[in-house]
Each structure stands twice: as C-alpha cells, then as structure tokens.
Structure 1
Amino acid sequence: MKNILFVVIVVLFSSFIVFEKEKESNDEQINVLVDSWHKAAADANFEKYFECMTSDAIFIGTDAGENWNKSEFMTYAKPFFDKGKAWNFTAVERHVFIDKSGKIAWFDELLSTQMKICRGSGVLVKEGKKWKIKHYVLSMTIPNENSAEVIKIKTPIEDNFLKSLLEQR
C-alpha cells in the first residue's frame, strides 16, 4: 500500500512540474511574441508586425472609429510603416492569463508610448505551436482628476460620432 501511495504522489508531483514548466514556457512565448510585435512596429517592419497576428485578427485603436479587421488595419498602417516610422510601444507591465486548454490566452499591459501611458489588452490563440494575436485593444489612460477636461474636448467630436452610429441602427 505504501508503494502505491508513493507512486501516486510521484506521478501527481511530476504532473504538476510538467504543467508549471508548460505554463512558464507559454508565458515566455507570449511575452516574446507581444514584445516582438511592438518592436516590429517601432522598427517599421510591416511583414513581421502583421505575421504576429491571426488572419482574422481585430485591432481596436484609441479613436472610437478605430475597429479594424486585419486587412483594414494593414491598409491603415501601411503608410506609417512605409515612411519608416510606425509607433513605438514598450510594455512596462504585463499580466498574462492562459485558459485550462492551453490554447487561448489573454493579457493586459501598461505601455510607454508617444501618447504617454497607454493600456493594451489582447487575446491570443495558439496555432500549432505558435501563439498569435487575435484581438488587441489600445486605450489611452486619463488621470481621474483630468476626466472633466478631457470630456469637454471629446464631447463635440464624439457627440457627432454617436449620432451617426445611432442613425445606422
């Protein structure tokens, strides 16, 4: 009986170690992917940037009208990359979460950018052995004490945008 208990404990412990190593490997792969994606934009490497995304990826930018599928985002971004200067985002904090299947992950990050601190969040999927970005949302952060000032600036622009969206319903 002691031998069976010992074997069960060893198997459980080994399984835990394998699971933890796989989680660490996935976390590392995801961090490398997202950091490489940001670096590709900073280096204006169009092909490498868009290779990091799934074929059906979505990118949501800081403007309310920026909700693009990959093809639309490529069209928008191409002139910036062609000029040799896209955008430069550096993660200063990132949290990665992986579902139990090990095939879907999501993350949030704080970024140092030309727009100052921004927040990014995304969903990744594992295609074969590689992670790819499927959905990304970029948001500018606004200090709470400055919200009223920002709302005054946004109101005339976004009231018109809201009106046009409601008319399309």
Structure 2
Amino acid sequence: MLKLISLKNLCSVFFLLGAFSTQALAEQSSTHDKQQATEVLDALNQYSSAADWDNYFALYDEQGIFIGTDANEHWDKATFEQYARPTKGWRYDLSSRKMTQHGDVIWFDELLMSPSYGVSRGTGTLIKTNKGWKIAQYHLSFPIPNSIAKSITKQIISASSNDE
C-alpha cells in the first residue's frame, strides 16, 4: 500500500512539474512575441519619421489597413501608400504602450507625442505570419480631453454638415 501511495505522489509531482514547465514556456513565448511586436511598432515610428516608405510598408500585412484621423481615412495598404509616399514623413514619439496577446494576434494601444499634433493615440492589431509580426490594422486618433469634448464635437458636427 505504501508503494502505491508513493507512486501516486511521484506521478503527481511529475504532473505538476510538467504543468509548470508548460506554463513557463508559454509565458516565455508570449514575452518573446511581445518583444518582436514592440520592435515592429518602434520601427514603424522610426521609418515614418525618415519617410523610409519601403521599410515602413514592409511592416504591414498585405491585407493591412490604416484608419486615419479623418473620418474618410479608411485605407487599404495600397491606398495608404499612395497617400504617404509623396510626403516627407511624420513623427510620433512613443509615450506609453499596452499590449495584449491571444495566440497569433496582438492588439495594442499606444500614446504618442507629435510635434505637429501633440498627444495622439495609435491602436491596432498585429498578426503573426511566416514572415514575422505584421500590422493588420493601425488606427491613429486624437484623444480629446473630456473638458473640451463638447466644444470639439460641435466643431466636428459643423465641419461635417459643411462637407455635405
């Protein structure tokens, strides 16, 4: 009977060790994935400020989209390239970033500082491909402080009705 109890205990120990090592490997993989995704997003800001469009657009998935600050800016990669390539680039410096991973998808939310626009927000998703992490969607917006939101939204409503 004592041998049976010892065998059960030994099996339990091996089971727990296996579970802990599987969890540790998953956490290590997630950390590695997030580091790679961080490098992609950091490079995105570096390439845009240098107007290095070949490297910039190589970071996007072929079906990637960009959603800009204007309500009409919902562009596939090719349309966004047509917009960006004639420009001298744009600069956004990272203030903070949060990432969440679920399998081969990472979504992020970052606060950026722009010399032209002040505080901006980038949100989006990256997908893991056989070529590494690629941007599937990037959305740039201007976070509006609640204290001035009504004033700003009135201006947006007015501008929208003038466009019609």
Do they fold alike, i.e. is TM over 0.5?
A: yes
Alignment-mate amino acid for residue 133 of structure 1 = I
Distance between the aligned counterparts of 1:137 and 1:8, measured in 2?
44
Once the two structures are superposed, residues 91-134 of structure 1 have per-residue CA deviations (whole angstroms, 9 ceiling, x without a partner) of 211111111xx211111111111210111100111111510001
What's the CA shift for 1:152? Answer: 3.6
- Gap runs ≥5 in structure 2: 1-7
What's the CA shift for 1:5? Answer: 1.1
Verify: 1:73 aligned to 2:84, yes or no: no
Partner of 1:110: 111
Shift in alpha-carbon separation, 1:154–1:46, aligned structure 2, 3 A: same
CA contact (8 A) 1:35 1:90 kept: no
Distance between the aligned counterparts of 2:41 and 2:160, measured in 1?
31
Distance between the aligned counterparts of 1:152 and 1:98, measured in 2?
37
What's the CA shift for 1:149? Answer: 2.6
Q: Secondary structure at the match of 1:118?
A: strand
Partner of 2:133: 131
Partner of 1:36: 43
Q: Secondary structure at the match of 1:141?
A: coil
Of 22, 25, 28, 2:29 maps to: 22
Partner of 1:5: 12
Verify: 1:93 aligned to 2:100, yes or no: no
Distance between the aligned counterparts of 2:131 and 2:90, measured in 1?
28
Of 139, 142, 158, 1:140 maps to: 142
- Gap runs ≥5 in structure 1: 164-169
Partner of 2:161: 159
Distance between the aligned counterparts of 1:22 and 1:12, measured in 2?
15
What's the CA shift for 1:23? Answer: 0.7
Count of matched residue positions in the alignment of Structure 1 and Structure 2: 156
What's the CA shift for 1:142? Answer: 1.4
Structure number with bigger Rg? 2
Partner of 1:53: 60
Distance between the aligned counterparts of 1:2 and 1:150, measured in 2?
66
Alignment-mate amino acid for residue 26 of structure 1 = D
Runs (4 or more) in structure 1 with deviation over 2 Å come to 151-156
What's the CA shift for 1:90? Answer: 1.6
Alignment-mate amino acid for residue 6 of structure 1 = V
What's the CA shift for 1:160? Answer: 4.1
CA contact (8 A) 1:109 1:121 kept: yes
